[in-house]
Amino acid sequence: MTCPVLTVPPPAVTVAKLPYKRLLCPIDFSESSLAALRFASSIAKESDAHLIVLNVFDWPADEELLVERFDTPEFRRVFEREAQARLGALLTGDEWNWCRPETKITYGKPYRQILEIAEREGADLIVMGVRGRNALDLMLFGSTANHVVRRATCPVLTLRQ
């Protein structure tokens, strides 16, 4: 693992205060996001903070044809049940005792949902994993972490594995 990077927005923008008491850790089940969860859990333990573990399902826009075929209440219930089980399995028994974790599942563009949940929940810190991507991919599509770091109103701690 390389050195974690803390990006702090300008003081006029930030809503966070030290010590961090409300942490948000978005998870996509990649190795880098799991490393971020371990790091976020240790911060939560040290600062007696509330930890929100978020999984965003990149759901197609309403106007896309696939949504009509697959967007059924039953499909969402199955997906949410499986995702909640996976998120819950990531947290150890000790974490449930000392960092008051909460798991959330949401749908939409991941960076938008991360920023929205961070604002709604009053997050003091977002902890997220980043993966290496090539320059062309970043130029054409951007990255979730890049969008979050540039738009967040609280500090964002990124870990690359």
The structural domain count of the chain equals 1
Is residue 102 within a helix (H) or strand (E), and if so which, with residue range?
Answer: strand 101-107
CB 50 within 8 A of CB 98: no
CB 131 within 8 A of CB 78: no
Q: What is the pLDDT of residue 158?
A: 92
15-54: pLDDT as tens digits? 666 788 999 999 998 898 999 999 999 898 888 899 999 9
Size (the chain), residues:
161
pTM for the predicted model, two decimal places:
0.82
* Domain span holding position 139: 5-160
Strands, DSSP E only, in 29-87?
A: 50-57
Q: What is the pLDDT of residue 2?
A: 72
100-133: pLDDT as tens digits? 788 898 988 999 999 999 999 999 999 999 876 5
Q: How far apart are alpha carbons 84 and 78 in whole angstroms?
A: 10
Question: What percent of the chain is predicted at pLDDT more than 90?
Answer: 30
User: Taking all residues of the chain, what is their mean pLDDT, rounded to a whole number?
Assistant: 80
Q: How far apart are alpha carbons 103 and 56 in whole angstroms?
A: 11
Which CATH number belongs to the domain containing residue 67 in this structure? 3.40.50.620
| Angle CA 72–76–79, to nearest 5 | 140
Confidence of residue 136 (pLDDT cuts 50, 70, 90): very low
